[in-house]
Structure 1
Amino acid sequence: MKTKLAKRIIPCLDIKDGRVVKGVNFLGLQDAGDPIEVAKRYNDEGADEITFLDITATIQARKTTAQMVAQVAKEIFIPLTVGGGIASLDNMYDLLNAGCDKISLNSAAIKNPNLITQGAKRFGSQCIVVAMDARRNLSGGWEIYTHGGRNPTGIDLLEWAKEVYDRGAGEILLTSMDCDGTKSGYDLEQLRAVSSSVGIPLIASGGAGSMQHILEAFENGADAALAASIFHYQEISIKDLKKFLKEHGIPVRI
C-alpha cells in the first residue's frame, strides 16, 4: 500500500533590509523581527521547512542574503528555501553553498525560463522551487505577476505551471495575490486548478487566517501550506495546528 506523504507546514520569512516584514496584498509592510531569531523559533516549534524571501533583492542585498542564509542555516535543522533576486546558476550555487536546501525562482524564471531547466539539471529537481504570484483576471483565470507583485505579465497561470513542470521544477509555490495577508483563506479554486495540471508538489500561499483554512488547502490539492502573519504574531502555534490537522485525518510530522 502506498504511504501518504506527510503534509508540510512552512513559515515564510519575507526579508527587507535584514528584517522580517509582513504586509497585506503585498503592501503596507510591518516589522516582524530578526530573521535568525524567528527562524530558530520556528525550527524549535516543529515547522517542517522555512522559506526565506528577500522581497527587495538588489545586487548589494544579494551578499547580505548569502551571509544571512549561512547564519540561519547554522541555527536550524529543517530544510531552508531561499528566494529573491536569484538570476543565475552562480547565484544558486552561492546560496546552496551558504547552507540553503532549495532555491525559489520567480521573476528571473519568467524572464529566462531556461534557468529552471539549467538549475534542475545542475542541482537536481528537488532543489528548484518556482514561485508564482497570481491574480484573478477578467476572463476568470489567473495572471502571473513579477517583481513582488508589481508587474503584470499577461502569462496564464495554468500554462506557466505546466511549463515549469515540464522544465524540471521540483515544486511550485503558489501565492494568491487576491488573498495574500487577508486571513480570509486560500484561493481553493486556484489550488485545485494548478494541482490537477501538474505532477509535482504544490505549496499553498496567501490568505491563511485559521487552522481551518490550512485544512481546506490540504483538502484542495496542496502538499504544503505556507503562512506568515499567523505564525509571526503567534496567533496559531505550529504544534496546535499539527494536532488539529492530525485529528482531521491529515498526515503530518509531529
Structure 2
Amino acid sequence: MLRTRVIPALLVLDGSLVKTVNFKNPNYIGDPCNTVRIFNDLEVDELMVLDISSDRHVRGPDLDLIRQLSDECFMPLSYGGGVRSFSDAQSLFSLGIEKVVLNTSALKDPSIITSISSIYGSQAVIVSIDVKQGFWGSETVRSCNGKHRTGIDPISWAKKVVEYGAGEILLTSIAREGTWSGFDIDLLHNVSSAVEVPVIAHGGAGNLQDIGYAVSLGGASAVALGSMVVFQKRGMGVLVNFPAQSDLLNVLN
C-alpha cells in the first residue's frame, strides 16, 4: 500500500483549468469538472484545487464552481484561493471541501488559521507557502500569487503557522513551478526538518524519481503534481493522467 500521498494540484483561472510556469503565462488545459471526472476514473486518492484568479482575494471563493467540483469529486478535495475569513471557510466546508488552503490571508492575519482549526481541526487547514529567491540570493515568502515580496523567511513562517494551528504546509518553489526540473530539495529539507506537521512538496516534478527524492531527501510527507498530471510529457500536449500505483510504489516504498 502507498504510504505517501501523491496529489494532483489543479490551477483554476476564471473558471478554466490552466497550468503556469513560475506562476506566469497560464496555459489553458480544459474544463475543471471534466478533469475531476477523469481523476475519479483514475482512482486518485486526493485532489487539490487552487484558484489563481486575480480577483479572488476581493470576491472570495467561486462557490458555484466549487459546488460543481465537489459534486463531481469522489475523493477528498482541498481548495485554496480567496479564503479570506472563517465565514469563507465555513461555506467551503458546507459544500463538502475537506481542507482549506490559506496563503495571502494567513500572511495578513495569522489568526485566521486558529479560528478555522479551532472549530474544524488542524487537519482541515493547509497553509500554502510560496517561496522565491530574491536579488541577494535569500529565499523569502511571496503572497498574492507570487507577486508580493514579504521579506519573510520560509522556515520561520512555517514554524509560526504551525503554532497558529496549521495541520499541513504546501511548500512551493516558484522558480521550479511548471519547469519539470525537479523539486527544490534543500528548501524542502530545511522546512520539513523545522516543523512536525506534514509538508507537501509542490513545484518542479518532472518524473517519478523527482517524487521519490522529495520524500527520501527532502523529507516531504506528500507530493503535489501539476504539469505531470495534465500533460503527456514535457513539451507535449494536454493529457490528464496519473502515475500507475505500481510505479509509485517502486519509488516511494
Residue 191 (structure 2) pairs with residue 194 (structure 1): yes
Q: State whether residues 40 and 72 of structure 1, in contact with CA within 8 Å, keep that contact through their aligned partners in structure 2.
A: no
Per-residue CA deviation, residues 104-145 of structure 1 (Å, 9 max, x unaligned), is 000000000111111110211011000010012466542000
In structure 1, the residue matched to 2:248 is: 245
SS of match in other structure, 2:194: coil
Unaligned runs of 5+ in 1: none
Corresponding residue number in structure 2 for 1:221: 219
Deviates more, 1:138-147 or 1:38-47: 138-147
**CA distance in 2: counterparts of 1:232 and 1:247, whole angstroms:** 22
Q: Which residues of 2 match residues 95-244 of structure 1 at below 5 A?
A: 95-137=92-134, 141-219=138-216, 220-235=218-233, 237-240=241-244, 242-244=245-247
- The residue correspondences of 1:22-61 to structure 2 (distance < 5 A) are 22-56=19-53, 57-58=55-56
Select which of 77, 81, 87 maps to 1:80: 77
Q: After the TM superposition, which parts of structure 1 deviate over 4 Å for at least 4 consecutive aligned residues?
A: 138-141
The CA deviation string for residues 228-247 of structure 1, in whole angstroms up to 9 with x for no partner, is 1111124394242x322312
Cα distance in 1 for partners of 2:45, 2:246 equals: 14
d(CA) in 2 for partners of 1:218, 1:90: 35
Q: Percent identity?
A: 37
Name the CA distance, whole Å, in 1 between partners of 2:165 and 2:74. 26
TM-score by length of 2: 0.91
User: Are the aligned partners of 1:176 and 1:205 in contact in 2 as well (CA < 8 Å)?
Assistant: yes
TM-score (norm 1): 0.91
Q: Which runs of 5+ in 2 are unaligned?
A: 234-239
How much has 1:60 moved relative to structure 2?
7.8
The CA deviation at 1:6 is 1.3
* Contact in 2 for aligned 1:46/1:238 (Cα 8 Å): no
Q: 1:163, 1:140 → 2: CA distance? A: 23
Of residues 116-125 and 133-142 in structure 1, the stretch that sits farther from structure 2 once superposed is 133-142
Question: SS of the residue aligned with 1:48?
Answer: coil
Give the paired residue count.
245
Deviations 1:207-240 (A, max 9, x none): 0111111111111211111111111124394242
